[in-house]
Structure 1
Amino acid sequence: MTDYVEEQRNELEAMESIYPDSFTVLSEDPTSFTITVTSEAGDNCQTVEATFKFTYVEKYPDEPPLWEIHSQENLEDGDLEDVLTLLQQQAEENLGMVMIFTLVTAVQDKLNEIVDVMKYKQEEEQQRREREAEEAEKGAFHGTVVTIENFLLWKAAFELEMAELRKKTQKEEDQAGKHKLTGKQLFERDHNLDTSDIQFLEDAGNNVEVDESLFQDIEDLDLDEDDPDFDPLEMGSDDD
Structure 2
Amino acid sequence: MGREEQREEREVLESIFPDEINYISDTEFRISVTLDLPPDADAPDDDEDEGEAPIIILTVRYPDDYPEAAPDLDLSPPPNAPPHKYFNVAADKDALLQSLESTVEENMGMAMVFSIVSALKENAEQMIIDRRAEVAKKREEEALAAEREENKKFHGTPVTRETFLKWRDEFFREMQEAKEREEEERLAELKKAKGPKEAPKLTGRQLWERGLVGKVVEEDEDDEPMDKTAAGVEALKV
TM-score range, shorter chain: 0.5 to 0.7
Q: In the alignment, which residue of structure 2 is the partner of 1:5? A: 3
Q: CA deviation at 1:131?
A: 1.1
Distance 1:49 1:9, change over 3 A: same
Which amino acid counterpart does residue 136 of structure 1 have in structure 2?
A: E
Flag structure 2 segments of 5+ consecutive residues without an equivalent.
41-48, 79-83, 171-209, 227-238
What corresponds to 1:32 in structure 2?
A: 28
What percent of counterpart residues are identical?
24
Task: Give unmatched runs, 5+ long, in structure 1.
Answer: 160-207, 222-231
List structure 1 runs of 4+ shifted beyond 6 angstroms.
Answer: none
* Cα offsets for 1:1-20 (capped at 9, x unmatched): x2x22221221222232223
Q: Between 100-109 and 124-133, report the one with greater CA deviation.
A: 124-133
Compare the two structures and name the one with the higher helix fraction.
1
State how 1:130-169 maps to structure 2 within 5 Å: 130-140=143-153, 142=154, 145-146=157-158, 148=160, 151=163
TM-score, normalised via structure 1 length: 0.57
Is 1:20 matched with 2:18? Answer: yes
Tell me how far apart the structure 2 counterparts of residues 116 and 69 of structure 1 sit (CA, whole Å).
Answer: 20
With the length of structure 2 as denominator, give the TM-score of the two structures.
0.57
- Residue among 55, 60, 75 paired with 1:54: 60
| Offset, 1:58 | 0.8
User: How many residues matched?
Assistant: 170
Partner of 2:187: none
Return the offset for 1:97: 0.8
- Aligned to 2:66, the other structure's residue is in SS state coil
CA RMSD of aligned residues (A): 3.7
Deviation of 1:136 after TM superposition, in Å, equals 2.8
Distance 1:234 1:129, change over 3 A: same
User: Are the aligned partners of 2:104 and 2:116 in contact in 1 as well (CA < 8 Å)?
Assistant: yes
Q: Distance between the aligned counterparts of 1:26 and 1:149, measured in 2?
A: 81
**Which of 73, 88, 106 lines up with 1:93 in the alignment?**
106
8 A Cα contact 2:24 2:30, kept in partner: yes
| More deviation, 74-83/52-61 | 74-83
CA distance in 2, matches of 1:150, 1:96: 77
